[in-house]
Amino acid sequence: MPRLKRAQRLARQLEVKPTPTRVITVVTKKTTAAICPVCGKTIHEKRAIKAGYVTVDHIGYFASIDWDPNKAFGFRQDVSGRGSLANPREYIEPEDSPELFEAVKARFLAALKEWLDKGWLTREELP
């Protein structure tokens, strides 16, 4: 099939009728998020409402996770190519990766100090 000439392409484009414009009104209430002082991840606790509809049934982040004081420090996993993430995780303790543990510990202590300096946390609240 030969290529269309410029005039033919323009004529074909003009044949296509543009879609009619619609006005969509979006009413959005504010969403609230906390910023993790250690990793910077935002944690949303409120749901956004658009045009009267709830975007999703939202369960708060902290209500959605179980607190397990016996959890591992981290994990190690093979990432050596396609399909390697299907391999099981090997859970690790701080002794298995002392550099990573020291980095996380330093950031955690800096975050605690920051909250103490801002008055968001008192020394009496610390265990």
Q: pLDDT, tens digit, for every residue of 43-86?
A: 766 554 555 555 555 566 666 677 788 888 888 877 776 766 66
Do the Cβ atoms of 25 and 51 come closer than 8 Å? Answer: yes
Q: What share of the chain is helix, strand, coil (3-state, %, to 5)?
A: 35, 15, 50
Q: pTM for the whole thing?
A: 0.58
Strand blocks (E) in 7-122: 33-35, 42-44, 49-50, 53-54, 74-76, 90-92
Digit-coded pLDDT (tens) for 15-50: 766 666 666 555 555 666 778 888 887 776 655 455
